[in-house]
Amino acid sequence: MNRSESKYFHTAERMDEALLSLLLEKDFEYITVKDVCTRAGVNRSTFYLHYENTAGLLAETVAMINGRYREKIPDAGLGGAGITALPKRNLFFMTDQWLLPWLDFVKENRHVYKAIHSQADVFGVERTYQVFFQRVFSPILSRYGVVAERHEYIMEFYRCGLVAVMLKWVASDCRESAGEIAEIIKLCVGPAADEKTD
C-alpha cells in the first residue's frame, strides 16, 4: 500500500470511528455529514471523496466491524458442507474455542457494541443473525436431531441470553476478564462440550 492509499484508508477509518462515537449520542437519522466531519477532523469534500452520504458511511462501518470480527473467530470449516462433515462435538459453540475470541473482540470494541445494541436496526443486526441462523445454527440443530419447528425457539433462548450477558458486561466497561464471562455463559447453558457425544 503506497502513502496516498494509506492516508485514504486512515481517513476512512477516522470517519468510521466518528460515526460509531456519534451513534452513542444520537439516533442515526439525526447524524449529519457535518457531525461526522467535525468529529473525524475532516472537511466535507474529503467526506464526499469517500461516500455519497451517511448511509454509505454506515454500510462501510458495518463491513469494517464484521471484517475485524472475522479475523478473530476460529476457522472450523463451518461454511458450506462443513457442518455435515464435522463431528457433533465441534458444533457446540459454548466452549472457550468460540467464546473467548468473541468476548475478547467485544472487550476490545465495547464502544462499538454499545452503539450496535443501542441501534440494532441501523446496523442490520437482525438481518445478520438470520443469515447465521439459516446457514449455521439451524443446520447444526438438525445435526443434533432437533425438529425444524423448534429451531427458532431454541436459538432465541440462546441469543437473548448471550446478548443480555454481553450487554451487562459492556455496561460495566468489561471489568471481568473474557474467561470469567465465558465461565458464566457455560454455567448458564449446561454441560460442557466435552460431555457431548457424537
Which grid coordinates are listed for 188? Answer: 448458564
pLDDT of residue 179: 96
pLDDT at position 32: 96
pTM of the model: 0.74
Opening angle at CA 16, ends 11 and 17, nearest 5: 100
Pick the closest to residue 50 from 3, 16, 1 (CA basis).
Answer: 16
Position 193 scores a pLDDT of 45
For Cα atoms 37, 43, 47, give the angle at the middle one, nearest 5 degrees: 70
Q: Which residues of the chain have pLDDT under 50?
A: 1-4, 193-198
Predicted confidence at residue 123, as pLDDT, reads: 77
Q: Three-class SS of residue 136?
A: helix
Looking at residue 65, what is its pLDDT?
Answer: 83
Instruction: Catalogue all structural domains in the chain, each as residue range(s) with its CATH number.
Output: 1-60 (1.10.357.10), 73-198 (no CATH)
